[in-house]
Amino acid sequence: MNAEHPVENIHKKKIVFNPGKLLSSPGNLLTAVILAVGLCITILRFTKGLGGVTNLDDNYPWGIWISFDLLCGVVLAAGGYATTSAYYLFGLKGFGTAVRPAVTSAFLGYAFVVVALHYDVGQPWRLVYPIFFSPGTTSVLYEVGLCVFLYVSVLAIEWSVAAFEWLGWKSIRNVIVRLTIPLTVLGVILSTMHQSSLGALYLIAPSKMHPLWYSSFLPVFFFISSMFAGMSMVIFEGTLAHKGLHDQMDAAHLQHADKVVFGFGKAASIVMIGYLFIRIFGIAMDNNWSYLATGYGSWLMVELGVFVALPAFLYAIGVRERKAGVIRCAAAMTVLGVVINRFNVSLVAFNWQLPSAEKYLPSWMEIAISVFVVTLIVTAYRFICTYMPVLREHPDYEAH
Amino acid sequence: MENIFYSLHDFYICTKSMTYIAMGLGVLGLLGWWLFLTGRDETIRKY
């Protein structure tokens, strides 16, 4: 490897499997333990059924696997459509270096949402039925399923450019590059549809949800929050990639990192303030002011004050003062805030009138499977970034 | 607010009025926020 340009010849790196070396670092050892425990619970799940590993019941047919793996997984993968539309559709050329990392993480995020869904549905082998055999065209869940199915396919094609460059399959790579704009447009349309429809799923349960979180505007809340969640996730992932995969980045990626941070920081700030206003309009429309004086009201104010208004302000300060560190801190808070919001909608506000003894708490095995899925995503992301031209340009191809 | 509404019409008159006022304030707030956010940007003149 060239000492002056450490990433110049990195694309020629061969895959070497050396278990002894792999398990020598504490991080890899921890990963191996998580994957081993996850595999054991996977066997339990598919031999004993949902009852063998989860605390789900008739009151809570959807638990942490839907709240975290699906709702949070989908919203945090929104960086794919946010970045591709900024670069390819709006012509913001400063975001070029963020496109491939964002598409890679979005593809992995959605792919593992589908993997996680196999754990959660009672008969996973029938997961394809709504798409190919019995479409329920009047169902919101059908729309979510169809959009996710199509969007995973779109992301797989968009992401495959990096894989084909790595494999050296030039002709098929060039064909896909010509499809970039139509794929981006399709990705934005599908994301708009299913991000909002995930909120629309909860419109069916007005009597079960707390009035502060139930609103006929839930689809709008979900879609708008996906915009700033995606942007924040791109900043957050970029920060982690700079720490863990710094040696895989070329000069352009290192140079443009702050441009992406400031650009998305500014956009996220204005979108978050708009989101804060429409959440307040939602309370005004249903005249739910009296609930703000309750415990649930305090929790809502924490969600909106600490995890929406404060990061929006920090983003603005970071952009005004040109402080990338403040923006990165705001991005981490926003990501956490979006996770809290999805948990609030799907678990905290759901069945709020039930006595505490009947409320759902996930079993340790449900949490372990969620950790297992996240670990799989991180492992796959590291593998892809190590071998494929994601955080660097491939010298044999022009940027598109 | 523990308002008592005797009809759906009353309810909507109250809640929609409040929401429209809040939306007006929201638009002004967004404008102010945008000015704060971009206050230190360099002016780009294209004419």
Would you state the pLDDT for residue A110? 95
B30 vs A273, A284, A289: nearest CB:
A273
Mutate to test the interface with B, among A271, A278, A285 (most CBs of B within 10 A): A285
Tell me which residue has tokens 């020598």.
Answer: A24
Average per-residue pLDDT for chain A: 92
φ/ψ of residue A386, rounded to 5 = -75, -40
Q: Place A252 in a pLDDT band, splitting at 50, 70 and 90.
A: confident
pLDDT in tens, A15-52: 666 777 677 788 889 999 999 999 999 999 999 999 99
A285 neighbors B19 (Cβ within 8 angstroms):
yes
Continuous H helices in chain A: 19-22, 26-48, 50-53, 64, 73-76, 79-84, 96-120, 129-132, 140-167, 170-178, 180-200, 218-244, 251-285, 295-304, 310-321, 324-343, 364-387
Long-range CB pairs of A311-317, under 8 A, 24+ apart, other chains included: A311/A232, A311/A268, A311/A272, A311/A337, A312/A268, A312/A269, A312/A272, A312/A273, A312/A276, A313/A269, A315/A265, A315/A266, A315/A268, A315/A269, A315/A272, A316/A269, A316/B33, A316/B36, A316/B37
Please report the number of interchain residue pairs, chain A to chain B, with beta-carbon separation below 8 angstroms: 49
pLDDT in tens, A159-198: 999 999 999 999 999 999 999 999 999 999 999 999 999 9
pLDDT in tens, A137-155: 999 999 999 999 999 999 9
Q: Does the pLDDT of residue A85 top 50, yes or no? A: yes
B19 vs A269, A270, A281: nearest CB:
A281
Contact criterion met (CB < 8 Å) for A273 and B11: no
Would you state the pLDDT for residue A189? 96
Would you state the pLDDT for residue A17? 67
B11 vs A284, A287, A316: nearest CB:
A287
C-alpha A253/C-alpha A255 separation (Å) is: 5
Would you state the pLDDT for residue A10? 64
Contacts of A358 (CB under 8 A, 6+ apart): A59, A351
Would you state the pLDDT for residue A107? 96
C-alpha A180/C-alpha A84 separation (Å) is: 9
Establish how many alpha carbons lie within 13 A of residue A252's alpha carbon, considering only the half-sphere containing its beta carbon: 16
Structure tokens, B32: 């102010």
**Which residue would you say has higher pLDDT here, B47 or A82?**
A82
Q: Place A248 in a pLDDT band, splitting at 50, 70 and 90.
A: confident
**Which residue would you say has higher pLDDT here, A244 or A3?**
A244
B1 vs A266, A289, A316: nearest CB:
A289
Contact criterion met (CB < 8 Å) for A269 and B33: yes
Complex ipTM above 0.90? no
Q: Which amino acid, one-letter code, is at A349? A: A
Contacts of A244 (CB under 8 A, 6+ apart): A382
Residues from chain B that touch A216, judged by Cβ atoms under 8 A, are none
Residues from chain B that touch A266, judged by Cβ atoms under 8 A, are 37-38
Q: Which amino acid, one-letter code, is at A180? A: T
C-alpha A236/C-alpha A238 separation (Å) is: 5
C-alpha A178/C-alpha A195 separation (Å) is: 27
Q: Which has the closest alpha carbon to A246: A389, A103, A98, A391?
A: A391
Q: Which amino acid, one-letter code, is at A203? A: L
Chain B nearest CA to A71, separation (Å): 28
Region A268-294: mean pLDDT is 96
C-alpha A10/C-alpha A355 separation (Å) is: 58
